[in-house]
Amino acid sequence: MINPEILHEITPLSEKDCFYIVERNKSEFTFPLHRHLEYELNYIEHAEGARRTVGDSVEVISNFDLVLITGSELEHTWENHKCNAKEIREITIQFSPELFFKNFIDKHQFKSIKVMLEQAQKGLYFPLDTILYVRPLLNSLSHEKQGFYAVMNFLSLLYELSLSNGARTLSSSAFARVKLPADSRRVQKVHDYLMQNYTQEIRLGKLADMVGMSEVAFSRFFRLRTGKSVTDYLLDIRIGNAIRMLVDSTQSVSEVCYSCGFNNLSNFNRIFRKRKGCTPKEFRENYNKKKTIV
């Protein structure tokens, strides 16, 4: 269910355009928490201290910020927070998911771009070295008058971004409501089981039996494929769903705790604070301040 308090943006992107780009110079962020169907690449400079919210990720940004968002239900916003700059520069590029028509995106030459767009369903943050490398492309793209060359430059920009080694996802999969493809059917099988049963007690032996492995072998295999232990992976799912309930419902923190598989409120608060830097109550209050009723 889409939260009615999150602004659903109708973007200026025309069906006859490959992408829409706008450059702004401003002294503050005023756009509220929102979502839209179109993919978006947002570049910001001279806004150190501003706060970025993408799904359940809340971070204070540095002087440069570049984020790609392809999740249609992934709410996001930037706000001033501790930023006192008077000359913030922002370049926003929005493009349709249908830009890569039919199976064009499945061609070998676009493999890295396809992977990047899939990852960006959770919001994808690019590191400073990548930002500085593609900054000339962003600058030239915002001033390109010839439509054909603008499209070619835009595809080059996407390709260069897809080669970034330090890009990282922002929101949790559970909160973003995305199912990213796994490179292993066994990992996908376990992931699907955890998503369906995270509210219950999960036993390692059960998961290992599901994929025909011993507990020790499965634990090593799972960490190798996901980069996380089974325990941490499950906690990510539970926390992500807990945050979704905190922002989309009026259930108490205690109700959310027990509805998401935690059997101890103090333990839930401790884990939540460790992962999000605040209590569940504080997260809900801060998140609600970004909402706009439409």
Number of neighbours of residue 227 by Cβ within 10 angstroms: 9
Nearest Cα residue to 66 out of 133, 1, 118: 133
pTM for the model stands at 0.79
- Could you tell me the domains of the chain? 7-173 (2.60.120), 174-288 (1.10.10.60)
Q: Cite the beta strand spans of the chain per DSSP E.
A: 7-8, 19-26, 34-35, 39-45, 51-54, 57-60, 64-69, 76-79, 88-95, 124-125, 168-169
Q: Kindly report, residue by residue over 58-73, the tens digit of the pLDDT.
A: 999 999 999 999 998 8
Higher pLDDT, 106 or 77: 77
**Model confidence at 180: pLDDT above 60:** no
Span 76-101, average pLDDT = 90
Residue 123 Cα to chain centre, angstroms = 2
Question: pLDDT per residue over 223-252, tens digit each?
Answer: 988 888 999 999 999 999 999 999 889 999
The pLDDT of residue 294 is 34
For residue 241, how many C-alpha atoms fall within 13 Å in the half-sphere facing its CB? 19
pLDDT tens per residue across span 112-153: 999 999 999 999 999 999 999 999 999 998 787 777 888 889
Of 114 and 107, more confident: 114
pLDDT at residue 170, as a whole number? 94
